[in-house]
Structure 1
Amino acid sequence: MAIETEAFQFSEFGASEVLAFSTETLADPAPGEIQIRHLAIGVNYIDIYHRRGTAPLPLPSGLGVEGVGVVTALGEGVAGFAVGQRIAYVGGPPGAYATHRNLPAARALALPDALDSLEVAALVFKGLTVEYLIRRCFPVKRGDTVLFHAAAGGVGSIACQWLKHLGATTIGTVSSAEKAEIARANGCDHVILYTEENFRARVAEITGGKGVDVVYDSVGAETFAESLDCLRPRGTLVSFGASSGPVPPLDVSLLAAKGSLYVTRPSIAHYTADRREYETAARDLFGAIEAGIVRASTITTYPLSEARKAHEDLEARRTTGSVVLLP
């Protein structure tokens, strides 16, 4: 039976004003889908890339790629889920900015009873991102030295906690004294206020000129070139975002000149495409949450209807930690 849902759609790329909030009729779930009522919806920078057209979607489109909800209906052929069950998800067709939605069952993850819905919504996309960054892109081990840009952000906060547990030394960059305190509270060993000091020079000072084993860079244009200069020989730069703009074209011969460096540009879609890998990563994350290894230290919530303001605050770097919409 079709139901009504309140949801955001957009028909052109641009600023937050392109997002239109309206009531729509939601069809029954198709074969292989489940229908859910959202309890909490995570906001991520990929949503902004989708809205701007940096990572374009076919238009018109919904927005949002993660959430926590309760199953309200099952499509034909769906097994392993039940009406009334709580699930979390990352990926699938954008459309999380809604009170209700249909979702491919292959993207749904059963939630342990002990986990709080709001905390999972704050952590699941970012936590699965951290999992593939530090466990699979570059498997961080005890004794490694890591440079993590935007260390007080949603991904950075989780990463600092998890890296501390792994025994790494973490150097984090932040934009303000307030964010520096957040990074330290999450386990960051050295914090660089990049608005007041050159992070490349400070990294050289902290490491005694040796450089770091790996740089995780979600900032992009403003940091990429100097991030390469922070690496030890044969170090790895993981470029996983572009909040300051796209990275300029790279002359790969520079990688040899700067120490036989490695660069990768991963996507969570490719690291969670295989259902078994997706479930394994989720088990690792949910276990880390239950064990207290990672936590949502700061959650900023907005009503679903104020998604435009959430985007504006995130783009202006006025938020710390995770941003969650509440239906």
Structure 2
Amino acid sequence: MRLDWLRAFRAVMQTGTATGAAAILLRTQPQVSRMIASLEDAVGLKLFRREGRRLVPTEQALLFLQYVEPLLIGLEGIGHAADDIRHDRGRPLLVAAEPFLLHKAVPEAITALNAAADFRCTIDICIRGLGLWMSRGNADLGVVALPFSQTDMERTVFAEAEVVAVLPPGHRLAAEPALQMQDLRNERFIGLSTSTLLRAQIDIAAARVGISLDPVVNATSGVTACDFVARGLGMTIADPIIAQSFVSRGVTVRRLRAGLKLTYGYLTARQAPSAAARLAMDMIAATVSRLGGDFVTLAPAYRHLGRPASAA
């Protein structure tokens, strides 16, 4: 198996066509096609099926990419590693976070770290369905919502967030200091897809009080749902940090007395986290506490980093 075959595979996964991959690799389209065919023969997997001009990855290709990507990233980082060794620097910390945490919390924390110290890291997205695996070199530190079962890493709670109601500009319920689930009856609602942790909690809470939420739109993320709210399409229920990041666009955030919570957690190696990882963990926890305000309660080990939670 040749390294250029693996690079061709990744390029096709990125672009969806042999022509697009050829442009990245500075090869011809027939050369890329031959490399993909050779790779499929070598590994005994059917990696793509053709639909018109596009090469659509199979499920085997998606799984194979999880192994190939860390390998290629590692090889491509050898030059940087040598430079780090020459200058007596540690390698950058690899942080993977779920999309809702990459919207606001993690970027602000990393920005603060870079302002305060010589802190270097690589930020990657963590897709819940694909999991996060120390054995595959996916990350040194994961920042996720718990429970998170698709991993061989150690799980640690660092905060709990109270889920909030997010109202569009000028909504009549904005006059209320807090809402109950019953208040959502007959409201235009922006739902979350069934792939999210929060969707099942919302459905159970609605059923408990005898109401049915019939979404006008189902969004794949809380960020998208709040964007629809800001556009006046309806209201939603969301993570408080995401919700409050949309206040500048006219939404109103209100406490929702429904017992809905999200648990934020870290995924780390089973041995003690590195000094860089601990520094990042402390800063992310402090940032989450600052951004979430009264809606977020830090775990005891991190409580000294943020403000105490006030009574609901």
Which range, TM-score by smaller chain?
A: under 0.3
Q: TM-score, normalised by structure 2?
A: 0.28
The structure that is helix-richer by fraction is: 2
The structure that is strand-richer by fraction is: 1
Q: TM-score, normalised by structure 1?
A: 0.27
